[in-house]
Structure 1
Amino acid sequence: MRITELQLPDDVAVTGPADTAVHGVSHDSRQTQPGWLYAALPGANVHGAQFAAPLITAGVRAVLTDQAGRQLIVEALDGDPAAPEVDELCLLITADPRARLGSIAAQLYGTDPAAPQLLGITGTNGKTTTSYILDGLLTALGRTTGLIGTVATTIAGQTQPAVRTTPEAPELHALFARMRTAEVDTCAMEVSSHALAQHRVDGARFAVAGFTNLSQDHLDFHASMEEYFQTKASLFTPAFSARGVIMLADDYSRRLAATAEVPVATISRASAENPTYLIAEESGPHFTLHTPAGALAARAPLPGSFNVANTALTLALLLESGTELGALAAVSGSFDVTVPGRMEQVNDAAPLAVVDYSHTPDAITQVLGGLSSAGRPLVIVCGAGGDRDPSKRADMGAAAARGADIVIVTDDNPRSEDPAAIRAAVRSGAEAARASGTARATRIEEIPARSEAIIAGVAAAGETGTVLVAGKGHETGQEIAGVVHPFDDREHTRRACASRPSGVPAGRVQD
Structure 2
Amino acid sequence: MVDSDAGRAPTAAVSVADVAAFLQTKVIGPADAGRLALRDLVDDSRVLRPGDAYVAIPGTRWHGLDFENEAVAAGAVLAISDRPSSVLPTLIVDNPRAVVGPLAAWFHQRPSRRVRVFGVTGTNGKTSTAHFIEAGLAAAGECTGLISGARIQGPNWGLIPTRTTPEAATLQRTLAHFHREGVSACAVEVSSHAIAQRRVDGTKFRAMAFTNLSHDHLDYHGTMQAYFATKASMFTSDRTQIAVVNVDDAHGARLASNTTVPTWTCSTVDPSADVYAEDVVCTESGSRFTACTPAGTAGVCLQTLGPHQVSNAVVALTSLIADGIDPIAAAEGVSFLTAITGRCKPVHAGQRFTAIVDYMHNTAGQRTLLPYLRQLTKRRLILVVGASGSRDPSKRRPLGQVAATYADTVIVTDESPEDDDPAVLRRDVLAGARRARHAHVIEEPNRHRALELAVSAARPGDVLVVAGRGSDTTLRRGSHTSHFDDHAQLHQIITAAIGTRGPTAAELARRGRATTSVWVRNSPGTSRE
Instruction: With the length of structure 2 as denominator, give the TM-score of the two structures.
Output: 0.84
Question: Distance between the aligned counterparts of 1:245 and 1:262, measured in 2?
Answer: 10
1:5-57 deviation per Cα after TM superposition (whole angstroms, max 9, x unaligned): 55967874556665554231112223333433221222223332343356568
- 1:105 and 1:169 in contact (8 A); partners too: yes
Aligned position for 2:163 = 164
Change (3 A) 1:393 1:57: closer
Task: Classify the secondary structure of the residue corresponding to 2:240.
Answer: coil
1:387 aligns with 2:390: yes
Could you tell me which residue of structure 1 aligns to residue 15 of structure 2? 2
Q: 1:432 aligns with which of 435, 443, 448?
A: 435
Give matches, 1:415-430, under 5 Å. Answer: 415-430=418-433
Contact 1:350–1:502 (Cα < 8 Å) also in 2: no
Q: Answer whether contact 1:23 1:108 (CA < 8 A) is retained.
A: no
Partner of 1:229 in structure 2? 228
Q: Deviations over 1:313-353 (max 9, x none)?
A: 11111111221234335x25741332111111003642110
C-alpha distance in structure 2 between counterparts of 1:476 and 1:355, whole Å: 12
Q: What is aligned with 2:371?
A: 369
Range with bigger deviation, 378-387 or 347-356? 347-356
Write the deviation string for residues 477-501 of structure 1: whole angstroms up to 9, x where unpaired.
3223432233222233223323132
TM alignment of 1:31-46, pairs within 5 A: 31-46=47-62
Q: What corresponds to 1:482 in structure 2?
A: 479
State the alpha-carbon separation in 2 of the partners of residues 35 and 22 from structure 1. 5
Q: Is the alpha carbon distance of 1:8 and 1:200 closer, same or farther for their aligned partners in structure 2, counting shifts above 3 Å?
A: farther
Q: Which stretch of the first structure deviates more once superposed, 441-450 or 158-167?
A: 441-450
| Distance in 1 (alpha carbons) for counterparts of 2:131 and 2:259 | 25
Q: Provide the rounded CA distance (Å) in 2 between the counterparts of 1:157 and 1:304.
A: 30
Q: Name 2:490's counterpart in structure 1.
A: 493
Q: Which residue does 1:397 correspond to in 2?
A: 400
Cα deviation, 1:454-487, whole Å, max 9, x if unaligned, reads: 2222233311111011011222232234322332
Q: Which residue of 1 aligns with 2:337?
A: 336
Contact kept, 8 Å, 2:22 with 2:103, in 1: the verdict is no
Distance in 2, matches of 1:50 and 1:334, equals 49
CA distance in 1 between partners of 2:43 and 2:374 (Å)? 47
What residue identity is the alignment partner of 1:431?
A: R
Q: CA contact under 8 A between 1:279 and 1:288: conserved in structure 2?
A: yes
> In 1, distance between residues paired with 2:293 and 2:191?
28
Larger deviation, residues 306-315 vs 130-139? 130-139
Amino acid corresponding to residue 29 of structure 1 in structure 2: S
Whole-angstrom CA distance in 2 between matches of 1:57 and 1:310: 46
Structure 1: gaps spanning 5 or more residues: 78-82, 84-88, 435-440, 504-511
Distance 1:197 1:360, change over 3 A: same
Task: Give SS of 2:46's match.
Answer: coil
Q: 1:323 aligns with which of 325, 338, 343?
A: 325
2:299 corresponds, among 291, 297, 300, to 297
Cα shift at 1:370: 2.7
Match of 2:112 in 1: 113
SS in 2 for 1:239: coil
Aligned to 1:206: 205
Residue 505 of structure 2 corresponds to none
Mark the CA change 1:265 to 1:234 in structure 2 (over 3 Å): closer, same or farther. Answer: same
| 1:310 equivalenced with 2:326 (yes/no) | no
Task: Please give the alpha-carbon distance, in whole angstroms, between the structure 1 residues aligned to 2:329 and 2:489.
Answer: 41
Give the CA deviation at 1:502: 8.4
SS at match of 1:490: helix
Shift of 1:297: 1.3
Aligned to 2:289: 287
Aligned residue number for residue 448 of structure 1: 445
1:25 matches 2:41: yes
Which residue is 2:412 aligned to? Answer: 409
SS at match of 1:30: helix
Alpha-carbon distance in structure 2 between the residues aligned to 1:410 and 1:501: 25
- Separation in structure 1 between the aligned mates of residue 449 and residue 427 of structure 2, nearest angstrom: 18
Instruction: Pick closer, same or farther for the CA change 1:266–1:410 going to 2, 3 Å.
Output: same
**Kept in 2: contact 1:121–1:130 (CA 8 A):** yes
Change (3 A) 1:54 1:408: closer
Distance apart, 1:106 and its partner CA? 0.6
Alpha-carbon separation, structure 1, partners of 2:430 and 2:328 = 50
For the Cα contact (< 8 Å) 1:350–1:497, is it kept in 2? no
CA shift in 2, pair 1:317/1:157, >3 Å: farther
8 Å contact 2:56–2:63 — kept in the other structure? yes
* Percentage identity across paired residues of the two chains: 35
Residues of 2 paired with 1:305 and 1:356: CA distance? 14
Contact in 2 for aligned 1:265/1:276 (Cα 8 Å)? yes
What residue number does 1:86 align with? none
- Aligned residue number for residue 470 of structure 1: 467
What is the letter of the counterpart of residue 398 of structure 1?
A: Q
Q: Does 1:267 align with 2:266?
A: yes
1:344-381 per-position Cα deviation (integer Å, ceiling 9, x unaligned) = 10036421100111111111222212312212211111
Larger displacement relative to structure 2 (490-499 or 303-312): 490-499
The residue type equivalent to 1:457 in the other structure is A
Contact 2:48 2:74 in 1 (8 A): no
Shift of 1:235: 1.3
Q: Distance in 2 between matches of 1:208 and 1:110?
A: 20
Task: Check whether the contact 2:137–2:333 (CA below 8 A) recurs between aligned residues.
Answer: no
Cα distance change of structure 1 residues 502 and 282 upon mapping to structure 2, 3 Å threshold = farther
Q: Which amino acid aligns with 2:499?
A: P
TM-score normalised by length of structure 1: 0.87
Instruction: Go from structure 1 to structure 2 and tell me whether the alpha carbon gap of 1:92 and 1:480 turns closer, same or farther (over 3 Å shift).
Output: closer
**Partner of 1:183: helix, strand, or coil?**
coil
Query: Which residue identity does 2:354 align to in structure 1?
Result: L
* Match in the other structure for 1:437: none
Tell me what 1:507 maps to: none
SS of the equivalent of 2:476 reads strand
Distance 1:426 1:59, change over 3 A: closer
C-alpha contact 2:307 2:369 (8 A) present in aligned 1: no
Moved more, 232-241 or 96-105: 232-241
RMSD over aligned Cα atoms? 2.4
Q: Which residue of 1 aligns with 2:192?
A: 193
CA 1:38–1:433: 2 relative to 1, 3 Å? same
Q: 1:271/1:427 Cα in 2 relative to 1: closer, same or farther (>3 Å)? A: same
* 5+ long unaligned stretches in structure 2: 1-13, 502-529
Decide whether aligned partners of structure 1 residues 418 and 146 sit closer, same or farther in structure 2, where only a CA change above 3 A counts.
same
In 2, are the aligned partners of 1:361 and 1:396 still within 8 Å (CA)?
A: yes
Q: 1:10 to 1:152 in 2, by over 3 A?
A: closer
Distance 2:158 2:431 in 1: 41
1:183-230 deviation per Cα after TM superposition (whole angstroms, max 9, x unaligned): 011111100111111111111111001111111111222122211111
Classify the secondary structure of the residue corresponding to 1:271.
coil
The match for 1:438 is: none
